[in-house]
């Protein structure tokens, strides 16, 4: 998917690790929003009001009545539904797009984020895992999977695994800088220590 440059998220002070994770969970989803090929030009600069998005939704819905297999339109419709907090409709639009491309990791990830908004973490995790089956290196999915596993499923071991894989692939990106302290805190919470696995390995025998 092309990045959605219409949305800029700025913040100064954030209280609580869970809230911080939630902010960037939504932020990254929006950054990965769908293709702009069916988007109408913004009315003012890069800012699009909810009313403008609703007008665009109506236009896309009319388009899909004539061509229900327009995948890009379905993805944009899902993105617009998400942006206007119509998460059930977003899920429906993404699912229709996935009928045409079942292994699209971007759409599967957006589907997972929508499920999380609907407080359906198990469905979210399933969508994320399907995305990773299609693209094991999909860093956005690993980032979001770790958040859902930690905050919603309380699967700390799974979250640690997801974020370790994320860090192996994300390099020194800004999101990696955020995940590192989250991962460290989670390991401390579960009694793990950095380098513990290496310490548990038996030492090689020295020659007598």
Residue 6 lies in a domain: no
Question: Dmax of the chain from CA atoms?
Answer: 82
Residue 111 lies in a domain: yes
* Over residues 112-129, mean pLDDT: 98
Residue 204 lies in a domain: no
Q: Reply yes or no on whether the pLDDT at 10 is more than 60.
A: no
CATH of the domain at 67: 1.25.40.10
Contacts of 187 (CB under 8 A, 6+ apart): 160, 193, 194
- Predicted pLDDT at 28: 54
- Predicted pLDDT at 193: 66
Percentage of residues in the chain having pLDDT higher than 70: 70
Q: What is the pLDDT of residues 46-67, one digit of tens each?
A: 467 889 999 999 999 999 999 9
Q: Reply yes or no on whether the pLDDT at 87 is more than 80.
A: yes
pLDDT, greater one: 162 or 28? 162
- Predicted pLDDT at 47: 63
- Predicted pLDDT at 49: 87
Residue 203 lies in a domain: no
Percentage of residues in the chain having pLDDT higher than 90: 66
Residue 172 lies in a domain: yes
Q: What is the pLDDT of residues 127-151, one digit of tens each?
A: 999 999 999 999 999 999 999 999 9
Could you give the angle at the alpha carbon of 65 between the alpha carbons of 64 and 69, nearest 5°? 45
The residue range of the domain holding 158 is 17-192
- Predicted pLDDT at 29: 54
The DSSP 8-state label assigned to residue 102 in this structure reads T
Using CA of residue 139, residue 153, residue 95, residue 86, what is the dihedral sign? negative
The DSSP 8-state label assigned to residue 46 in this structure reads T
Q: What distance in Å separates the CA atoms of residue 146 and residue 126, rounded to the nearest whole number?
A: 13
Confidence of residue 196 (pLDDT cuts 50, 70, 90): very low
* Over residues 169-180, mean pLDDT: 93
- Predicted pLDDT at 200: 35
> How high does pLDDT run on average in the chain?
78
Residue 110 lies in a domain: yes
- Predicted pLDDT at 194: 59
Task: Tell me the CA end-to-end span of the chain in Å, nearest whole number.
Answer: 61
Buried b / exposed e over 39-70, threshold 16 CB at 10 Å, is: beeeeeeeebeeebbeebbeebeebbeeeeeb
Residue 63 lies in a domain: yes
Q: What distance in Å separates the CA atoms of residue 116 and residue 138, rounded to the nearest whole number?
A: 18
Contacts of 199 (CB under 8 A, 6+ apart): none
Residue 100 lies in a domain: yes
Count of H-run helices and E-run strands, the chain: 10, 0
Name the domain count of the chain. 1
């Amino acid at each position: 998917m092309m990045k959605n440059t219409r949305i800029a998220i700025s913040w100064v002070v954030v209280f609580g690790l869970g809230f911080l994770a939630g902010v960037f969970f939504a932020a990254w989803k929006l950054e990965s929003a769908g293709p702009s090929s069916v988007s109408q030009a913004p009315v003012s600069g890069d800012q699009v009001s909810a009313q403008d998005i609703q007008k665009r939704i109506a236009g896309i819905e009319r388009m899909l009545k004539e061509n229900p297999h327009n995948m890009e339109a379905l993805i944009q419709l899902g993105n617009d539904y998400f942006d206007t907090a119509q998460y059930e409709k977003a899920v429906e639009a993404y699912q229709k797009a996935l009928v045409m491309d079942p292994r699209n990791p971007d759409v599967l990830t957006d589907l997972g984020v929508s499920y999380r908004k609907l407080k359906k973490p198990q469905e979210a995790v399933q969508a994320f895992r399907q995305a990773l089956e299609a693209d094991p290196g999909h860093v956005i999915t690993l980032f979001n999977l770790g958040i859902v596993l930690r905050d919603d499923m309380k699967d700390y071991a799974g979250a640690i695994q997801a974020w370790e894989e994320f860090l192996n692939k994300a390099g020194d990106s800004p999101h990696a800088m955020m995940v590192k302290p989250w991962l460290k805190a989670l390991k401390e919470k579960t009694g793990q220590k950095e380098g513990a696995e290496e310490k548990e390995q038996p030492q090689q025998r020295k020659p007598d």
